[in-house]
């Protein structure tokens, strides 16, 4: 869409849902404790120079023992609710995307429901790793656009510091803790989420995983001593898939809306590695000034990453009402997703 947003959005190829769904509030929460690259130099055989050059990360946040994933998710949700002017009793559904739930069950979304006092809300978790927040947005959107629910809270929350092997320099420098949230509602006939795309490739499940703790390898003395409860990643393989999948997903979302990247005001990608983000920007031919990046401050926060970035970008005024925003993510599964929103 080059001449006018309006003209193209009326075109038959627009994926605008029958009842538009809007993000009416966003929020995020980051723990206070900052772990810098200099701190990591004292913990493992690494350097600030290596971490910055290879990933772009300078520091990350680490939650204390007494703050769980549900606490961070609740804090982010409360900020989103405050911004939207939504009370806990108005929420119909809570979806929490996480791969570090407080416990295997019950769902972290149920714990957030209790902490918020959202007594009317149904609640469940989804696990799509780093893609979880956009998967959650798509699911939540379906409930609002169909008229089943009026108000849906989508949370991405992670305490990755609990599944990172702090002796493995190839992974421990990359991840952090935090949460982001969004409130979905219909705000009227204009704007809203224009399209979402989701994909997965289970054939690549073994390149990014936590092997034990589920039904396949239940927790045992052996699984603990073999380090099977830590996140394992074949970094280079994941890197290649991430660039290809996010580029393809971004293009697919734009095509479905009959848009080009020139129409987009702000691109918000998953925050795993600055080199991945720059590679995607180059392939999409989008200048980095349009791309929102906060990974130097927080590292990779998996399902929370894009949710935190969306909240910060919105609060910093990186886009205004009516502007087009493209979100694109990638994670274990493998999974990927993209989303175009007219703010």
Site of interaction with ligand UT7 (CB under 6 A): 46, 50-51, 54-55, 130, 169-170, 173, 235-236, 238-239, 242, 272-273, 276, 300, 302, 330-331
Q: Which is nearer to ligand UT7, 23 or 130 (CB)?
A: 130
Distance of closest approach, residue 239 Cβ to ligand UT7, in angstroms: 4
Distance of closest approach, residue 188 Cβ to ligand UT7, in angstroms: 35
DSSP designation for 261: G
The one catalytic residue in 110, 197, 270, 339 is 270
Distance of closest approach, residue 233 Cβ to ligand UT7, in angstroms: 6
Residue 68 annotated among the catalytic residues of the structure = no
Q: Which is nearer to ligand UT7, 5 or 46 (CB)?
A: 46
Quote the distance between the C-alpha of residue 56 and its chain's center: 18
The one catalytic residue in 130, 172, 257, 339 is 130
Distance of closest approach, residue 189 Cβ to ligand UT7, in angstroms: 37
* Closest residue to ligand UT7, based on beta-carbon distance: 235
Residue 87 annotated among the catalytic residues of the structure = no
Could you write out the DSSP letters of every residue in 202-237? GGGGGGEE--SSSSSS---HHHHHTTTTS-EE-HHH
Q: How far, CA to CA in Å, does 115 sit from each of 73, 75, 85, 110, 119?
A: 10, 9, 18, 9, 10
Q: How far, CA to CA in Å, does 294 sit from each of 57, 60, 74, 75, 300?
A: 9, 10, 22, 20, 10
Q: Which is nearer to ligand UT7, 194 or 242 (CB)?
A: 242
Structural tokens at position 19: 């009842």
Quote the distance between the C-alpha of residue 234 and its chain's center: 21
Q: Which is nearer to ligand UT7, 155 or 173 (CB)?
A: 173
Distance of closest approach, residue 235 Cβ to ligand UT7, in angstroms: 3
The one catalytic residue in 110, 273, 300, 339 is 300
Q: Are strands 59-61 and 177-185 parallel, antiparallel or unpaired?
A: unpaired
CA gap 4, 282 in Å, rounded:
25
CA gap 70, 84 in Å, rounded:
20
Question: What angle (nearest 5°) sits at the alpha carbon of residue 338, between those of residues 336 and 341?
Answer: 160
Distance of closest approach, residue 125 Cβ to ligand UT7, in angstroms: 18
Q: Which is nearer to ligand UT7, 110 or 238 (CB)?
A: 238
Q: Which is nearer to ligand UT7, 51 or 75 (CB)?
A: 51
CA gap 103, 336 in Å, rounded:
25
Residue 130 annotated among the catalytic residues of the structure = yes
Backbone angles phi, psi at 339, to 5 degrees: -160, 135
Buried (b) or exposed (e) across 321-341, using 16+ Cβ within 10 A? eebbbbbbbbbbbbbbbbbbb
Beta strands in 37-176 (DSSP E): 59-61, 93-97, 122-126, 152-159
Catalytic residue set: 130, 270, 300
């Amino acid at each position: 869409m080059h001449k006018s947003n309006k003209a193209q959005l009326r075109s038959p190829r627009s994926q605008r849902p029958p009842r538009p769904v809007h993000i009416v509030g966003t929020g995020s929460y980051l723990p206070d404790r900052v772990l810098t690259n200099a701190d990591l130099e004292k913990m493992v055989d690494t350097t600030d120079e290596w971490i910055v050059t290879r990933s772009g990360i300078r520091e990350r946040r680490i939650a204390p023992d007494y703050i769980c994933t549900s606490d961070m998710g609740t804090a982010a949700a409360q900020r989103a609710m405050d911004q939207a002017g939504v009370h806990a009793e108005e929420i119909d559904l809570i979806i929490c995307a996480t791969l570090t739930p407080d416990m295997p069950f019950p769902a972290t979304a149920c714990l957030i429901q209790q902490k918020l006092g959202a007594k009317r809300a149904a609640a469940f978790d989804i696990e799509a790793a780093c893609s979880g927040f956009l998967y959650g947005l798509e699911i939540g959107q379906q409930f609002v656009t169909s008229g089943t629910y009026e108000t849906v809270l989508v949370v991405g929350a992670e305490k990755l510091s609990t599944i990172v092997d702090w002796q493995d320099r190839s992974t421990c420098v990359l991840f952090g803790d935090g949460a982001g949230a969004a409130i979905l509602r219909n705000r009227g006939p204009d704007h809203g989420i224009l399209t979402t795309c989701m994909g997965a490739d289970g054939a690549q499940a073994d390149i990014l995983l936590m092997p034990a703790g589920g039904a396949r390898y239940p927790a045992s003395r052996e699984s603990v001593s073999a380090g099977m409860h830590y996140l394992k990643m074949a970094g280079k393989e994941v890197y290649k898939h991430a660039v290809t999948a996010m580029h393809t997903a971004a293009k697919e979302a734009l095509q479905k809306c009959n848009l080009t990247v020139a129409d987009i005001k702000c691109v918000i990608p998953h925050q795993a590695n600055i080199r991945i983000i720059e590679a995607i920007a180059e392939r999409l031919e989008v200048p980095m000034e349009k791309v929102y990046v906060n990974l130097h401050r927080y590292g990779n926060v998996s399902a929370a990453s894009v949710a935190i970035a969306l909240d910060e970008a919105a609060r910093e005024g990186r886009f205004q009402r009516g502007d087009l925003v493209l979100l694109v993510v990638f994670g274990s599964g493998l999974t990927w997703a993209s989303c175009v929103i007219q703010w």
